[in-house]
Amino acid sequence: MNLQYFLWLFSIFIVQQTRGQFEPAQHCDPNKCLPPDCRCSEDRSPPGGLPPEKTPQIIMVTFDDDFEKRSFDLYNELFDELRNPNNCSAMGTLFICQNYTDYFLVETAYSMGYEIADHTVTHQEPTTYWERANFTEWKNEIDGEKEILHRFANIPYDEVIGFRAPFLMFTENMFKALYTSKFGKFTYDLSWPANVIFDGKGPMYPYTLDYLSSQTCPTIDEPCPKLSYPGLWEVPNVNLMNKDHSTCASMMDGCDPSGNYTVWLEILTRNFHYHYDTNRAPFGMHMHPTFFLTTPDHMKAAKQFLKYALDLEDVWILTPSQIVAWMKDPQDVEQAKTFAPWQCPSRPKPRCTEETAHNCHYTEPGDFYMRTCTPCPPHFPSPTDPDGN
Ligand SMILES: *[C@@H]1O[C@H](CO)[C@@H](O)[C@H](O)[C@H]1NC(C)=O
Ligand SMILES: *[C@@H]1O[C@H](CO)[C@@H](O)[C@H](O)[C@H]1NC(C)=O
Ligand SMILES: *[C@@H]1O[C@H](CO)[C@@H](O)[C@H](O)[C@H]1NC(C)=O
Ligand SMILES: *[C@@H]1O[C@H](CO)[C@@H](O)[C@H](O)[C@H]1NC(C)=O
Quote the pLDDT of residue 197. 84
Flag whether pLDDT at 6 surpasses 50. no
Model pTM above 0.75:
yes
Report residue 247: phi and psi, to 5°. Answer: -75, 135
Quote the pLDDT of residue 337. 98
Quote the pLDDT of residue 381. 98
- For 165-183, what is the mean pLDDT? 96
Q: Which residues contact 23 (CB under 8 A, 6 or more apart)?
A: 227, 228
What ligand has the least distance to the C-alpha of 64?
A: 2
Q: Residue 235's closest CA among 138, 117, 129?
A: 117
Query: Which residues have C-beta atoms less than 6 Å from ligand 4?
Result: 260, 262-263
Lowest mean pLDDT among 8-17, 42-51, 193-202, 375-384: 8-17
- We report the CATH number of the domain holding residue 129 as 3.20.20.370
CA of 87 to the centre of ligand 1 (A): 6
44 found inside a domain: no
40 found inside a domain: no
What totals of helices (H) and strands (E) does the chain contain, helices first?
10, 15
Q: Model confidence over 90-142: pLDDT tens digits?
A: 999 999 999 999 999 999 999 999 999 999 999 999 999 999 999 999 999 99
Quote the pLDDT of residue 222. 59
Give dist(CA 310, CA 287) in Å, integer.
Answer: 20
Q: Model confidence over 231-278: pLDDT tens digits?
A: 999 999 999 999 999 999 999 999 999 999 999 999 999 999 999 999
307 found inside a domain: yes
160 found inside a domain: yes
256 found inside a domain: yes
Q: Model confidence over 342-356: pLDDT tens digits?
A: 999 999 999 999 999
385 found inside a domain: no
| Under 8 Å between Cβ of 229 and 179 | yes
Report residue 293: phi and psi, to 5°. Answer: -90, -20
25 found inside a domain: no
Q: Is 213 helix (H, G, I), strand (E, B) or coil?
A: coil
Quote the pLDDT of residue 196. 85
Average pLDDT taken over every residue of the chain: 94
Q: Residue 169's closest CA among 222, 242, 116, 232?
A: 222
Q: Residue 111's closest CA among 281, 350, 353?
A: 350
Flag whether pLDDT at 12 surpasses 70. no
Report residue 181: phi and psi, to 5°. Answer: -50, 140
Best of 99, 128, 148, 169 for a ligand 2 pocket test (most atoms within 8 Å of beta carbon)? 99
- For 56-65, what is the mean pLDDT? 98
CA of 291 to the centre of ligand 4 (A): 18
CA of 232 to the centre of ligand 3 (A): 26
DSSP code of residue 214: -
Q: Which residues contact 10 (CB under 8 A, 6 or more apart)?
A: none
The sign of the torsion formed by the CA atoms of 194, 199, 205, 211 equals negative
Q: Which atom of ligand 3 is nearest to the CA of 136?
A: 1
Give dist(CA 292, CA 279) in Å, integer.
Answer: 30
Give dist(CA 319, CA 342) in Å, integer.
Answer: 9
Name which residue sits closest to atom 9 of ligand 4, judged by CA.
Answer: 262
| Residue 267 lies in domain | 65-372
Best of 122, 130, 385 for a ligand 2 pocket test (most atoms within 8 Å of beta carbon)? 122
**Residue 17 confidence class, pLDDT cut points 50, 70, 90:** very low
Q: Which atom of ligand 4 is nearest to the CA of 260?
A: 1
Quote the pLDDT of residue 24. 96
Q: Which atom of ligand 4 is nearest to the CA of 261?
A: 1
Lowest mean pLDDT among 31-40, 210-219, 229-238, 340-349: 210-219
19 found inside a domain: no
Torsion of CA 79, 53, 333, 95, to 10 degrees: -40
Quote the pLDDT of residue 221. 64
**Residue 218 confidence class, pLDDT cut points 50, 70, 90:** confident
> SS3 string of 53-119?
HHCCEEEEEEEECCCCHHHHHHHHHHHCCCECCCCCECCCEEEECCCCCCHHHHHHHHHHCCEEEEC
Q: Model confidence over 297-339: pLDDT tens digits?
A: 999 999 999 999 999 999 999 999 999 999 999 999 999 999 9
What ligand has the least distance to the C-alpha of 259?
A: 4
Quote the pLDDT of residue 335. 98
Quote the pLDDT of residue 145. 98
| Under 8 Å between Cβ of 266 and 299 | no
User: In the chain, how many domains are there?
Assistant: 1
